[in-house]
Amino acid sequence: MNVMAKAEKKISSAFIYFFGSFGGILFGYDIGVMTGALPFLQADWHLENAASLVGWITSAVMFGAIFGGALAGQLSDKFGRRKMILMSAIVFVVFSVLSGVSPDMGEASAYYLIIVRMLLGLAVGAASALVPAYMSEMAPAKARGRLSGLNQTMIVSGMLLSYVVDFLLKDLPGEWAWRLMLGLAAVPALILFLGVLRLPESPRFLLRKGDEAQARKVLSYIRKNPAEIDQELASIKETAKEERQANQKTSWATLFSGKYRYLVIAGVGVAAFQQFQGANAIFYYIPLIVQKATGQAASSNLMWPIVQGVILVVGSLVYMWIADKFNRRTLLMVGGAVMGLSFILPAVINWMMPNMNPMTIVVFLCIYVAFYSFTWAPLTWVLVGEIFPLAIRGRASGLASSFNWIGSWLVGLIFPIMTASMPQEAVFAIFGIICILGVIFVKTCVPETRGHTLEEIEEQGTNHGRVKASNPEN
């Protein structure tokens, strides 16, 4: 027992935060890997004219993630964050390998891969829910903003990693290329599993299970002095008591009562807009977008995903630098406006100049990704984490996450169907209009949360509910 305790004492806070957030690598890798694998998969299985099947293969992970996040959240309250992250890593390894060894059985192969990727999506959704929860419970309050930025950086780094792997494997025979691209997702999942084996459980979960001694030991790894540990233990106990009381008094109907409706609509709306604005259409399909614009084979355009990945990583670092220097609403509105124009202007230019250089649309997509990377991408989850009052936080956060994954799934599913039936510029113009609607939504429906305590934000919602009740015509 003493030997084990000494071994645990060697765990550094850097190790805990690195592997605590490493699940973001898995999340990002599987978002990005299909971008490079799809052109080879289409050619190998002759799916060039099967837009709906292509959409389902690409979006199946997001469909599974809708359920994986909700399921993992509930199970982690019972079994612990650490154990559920380990389980997610195992599921990720198994179904990544099964994706790579998909049998070649004609059209039946596509349905096999769709099912396997749906099951893989359970792990992706679980990682997206468990990693932020674990990190927020391990991090000191003053570092939570930066560490939420670290999670975003891990996600986009995972996407960039997948793009680089796709590029390095592109010269293999087509059948081997896409299989290795999908199968190699098991490698970061295995690294995560081995790293998390050494991680401690969340002190909040340990206290909830009555193990105060172990919770104190875990906090001693990541806090500087005993007084800070005592203060945090007391704070966790008080918060856990308030949460138990809140959960006993609330139901799903509570979310849309007059007191909370304003804040729930704001948080869930921002989470939904983030996906319906079309970002994932770029991340999933950029080689096919370039192919349609230029006529060059998609498999020869795998440098463009790397360009997008580098922009995303740089943008996540920019966000960590500016996060607390500008209002949330300002960044969301500026970002959304530029994103919308980046989608709409190519359609306008193409209408005015039919001989427009086909790469113009790709340049505008890069501008879109740049502004998305340091505004809507990270700020959506910062705002969702801040805006929901304690009494409804669990249910409201789950609802926001579900709407976000539903949007991600639908964009991945319908984009190839839309581009098969209308000009590419028109499809992006539709997403551009949604971006502008998102700006209007933020302007009219979302309160500012920067610099406000959670109690002040809740009071804004309460006051807004009172105003609406006294002026129902508004």
Domain ranges of the chain: 12-199, 210-249, 253-469
Name every residue whose Cβ is closer than 8 Å to that of residue 249 and which is 6 or more positions away in sequence: 391
CA dihedral of residues 273, 279, 284, 290 (deg, nearest 10): 140
Q: Are 134 and 24 in contact (CB under 8 A)?
A: no
CATH architecture of structural domain 12-199: Up-down Bundle (1.20)
pLDDT score for 9: 52
Residue found by looking up tokens 């391990």 in the block = 138
Neighbours of 271 (CB within 10 A): 23
Q: Are 202 and 189 in contact (CB under 8 A)?
A: no
Chain mean position to CA 321? 20
Alpha helices in 375-453 (DSSP H): 376-387, 393-421, 424-445
Walk along the chain (474 residues) in steps of 10 and give the mean pLDDT of each run.
Answer: 44 80 85 88 87 90 87 79 90 95 84 95 85 75 65 87 92 88 93 91 83 85 79 78 66 75 90 92 88 74 88 91 84 96 92 82 92 92 78 77 88 90 91 97 89 67 57 47
Q: State the Cα angle at 415 between 412 and 420, rounded to 5°.
A: 145
Residue found by looking up tokens 């079994």 in the block = 79
Amino acid at the residue 99: S
Look at domain 253-469 and name its CATH class: mainly alpha
pLDDT score for 144: 61
Q: What is the DSSP letter of 473?
A: T
Report the length, in residues, of the chain.
474
Chain mean position to CA 120? 15
Chain mean position to CA 262? 24
Contacts 24+ apart (CB under 8 A), 215-224: 217/5, 217/8, 221/8, 221/9, 221/11, 221/12, 221/13, 221/16, 222/13, 222/16, 222/138, 222/139, 222/140, 223/140
12-199 with 253-469: one CATH topology? yes
Q: Are 219 and 233 in contact (CB under 8 A)?
A: yes
pLDDT score for 8: 45
Phi and psi torsions of 173, nearest 5°: -55, 140
pLDDT score for 455: 62
Contacts 24+ apart (CB under 8 A), 304-308: 304/362, 305/32, 305/35, 305/36, 305/163, 305/166, 305/167, 306/160, 306/163, 306/164, 306/167, 307/366, 308/163, 308/282, 308/283, 308/365, 308/366, 308/369
- Tokens representing 458 are 């809740």
Task: Kindly tell me the number of DSSP H helices and DSSP E strands found in the chain.
Answer: 21, 0
Containing 86, the helix (H) or strand (E) segment is helix 81-100
pLDDT score for 462: 65
Alpha helices in 422-452 (DSSP H): 424-445
pLDDT score for 245: 67
pLDDT score for 384: 80
